[in-house]
Amino acid sequence: MKEVSFTREQVCAHRGASGSYPENTQIAFDAAALAGAGWIETDIQCLADSELVIFHDEKLGRTAAGSAALKNLRWLDMAEMDIGSWRHQQFSGQRPLRCEDLIQWQMQAADRPGIIWEVKCGDDLSAVEATVQAVSSRLSTIEEHRCVVSSFSRPVLSALRPLLPTIPMALIADDLPADALAFCSDHGLDGIHLGGPCVTPAVAQSVISLGLVLRCYTINSAEEARRLTALGVTMIMTDFPERLLSER
């Protein structure tokens, strides 16, 4: 009998199946679900009209034409943008999604992946306030939505924690800052997301010993993924979920 390398709950598709499809698009999320990923990770940003768009970069130019900062755009400015053809012409016509679009997609089938929302936000107070209000208003009323809220922004997490008390939350860091574990403990966070290469046995133990969930990004090697799971990493974020979930 063939053995599956990883369980679906261990595998999170980074921006969808972004190794083979344009990131943060419907087709990338569909491919992640088809591959059997238990989770998808995606980025949300607050637009000028308080809509939450699924988009990674602070400005247009890489995956969509233009150069404007997202914080200055409205949903109507973005809704018809092509965010697929940068990857290949076969993906032309992929359009941006909003937070609620992806939630509706998740709820269309019981086996759809959970969603890790990475909240993107600037440091100024007005941006934090607008983002916190938009995220809390979208997520606070949806009881069946299986998700984790994460961010590099400590002000965002600090403000969201009391507003969304039942949703797991995690701090993101490239490597483990000296004060990160204390911050997680002080603010009631459930986990921390770290860049995989920085996770040594000592780092993993320091996180897990506090009862925090350790998830790692962005791991495209099955060998590295196995190293991390052996250290107690709960979830691997990968551009190629199909690789980790394929039979060997």
Closest CA to 111 of 30, 15, 28, 226: 30
In sequence order, the 6+-apart residues with CB closer than 8 A to the CB of 170 are 148, 149, 150, 184, 189, 190, 191, 192, 193, 213, 215
Mean pLDDT value across residues 55-80: 98
As given in the structure block, the two tokens for residue 180 are: 């990160």
The 8-class DSSP code of residue 221 comes to -
Q: Is the pLDDT of residue 68 over 80?
A: yes
Q: Is the pLDDT of residue 3 over 90?
A: no
What is the distance between the alpha carbons of residues 198 and 230, in angstroms, rounded to a whole number? 15
Contact 208, 202 (CB under 8 A): no
Contact 157, 171 (CB under 8 A): yes
Q: Within 13 Å and on the Cβ side, how many CA atoms surround 64?
A: 25
- The pLDDT tens digits for 128-183 are 999 999 999 999 988 899 999 999 999 999 999 999 999 999 999 999 999 999 99
Q: Is the pLDDT of residue 247 over 70?
A: no
Q: Is the pLDDT of residue 248 over 50?
A: no
Domain boundaries, the chain: 8-245
Mean pLDDT value across residues 106-124: 95
**53 DSSP β-pair partners:** 45, 98
For residue 64, the model assigns a pLDDT of: 98
CA-only gyration radius of the chain, Å? 18
Q: Which CATH class is domain 8-245?
A: alpha beta
What is the distance between the alpha carbons of residues 187 and 17, in angstroms, rounded to a whole number? 32
Cα–Cα distances (Å) from 150 to 72, 93, 98, 131, 167, in that order, read 23, 29, 17, 13, 10
Strand 191-195 to 39-46 pairing: unpaired
Residue by residue, DSSP assigns 121-148 as --SSHHHHHHHHHHHHHHHTT-TT--EE
Mean pLDDT value across residues 111-122: 96
- The pLDDT tens digits for 199-225 are 999 999 999 999 999 999 999 999 999
The sign of the dihedral angle between the CA atoms of 138, 143, 144, 149 is positive
**247 DSSP β-pair partners:** 4
What is the distance between the alpha carbons of residues 172 and 203, in angstroms, rounded to a whole number? 14
Q: Is the pLDDT of residue 58 over 50?
A: yes
Q: Is the pLDDT of residue 246 over 70?
A: yes
In sequence order, the 6+-apart residues with CB closer than 8 A to the CB of 42 are 15, 16, 24, 29, 54, 102, 115, 116, 117, 118
Q: Is the pLDDT of residue 72 over 60?
A: yes
Q: Is the pLDDT of residue 78 over 80?
A: yes
For residue 193, the model assigns a pLDDT of: 98
Mean pLDDT value across residues 236-244: 97
Strand 39-46 to 114-119 pairing: parallel
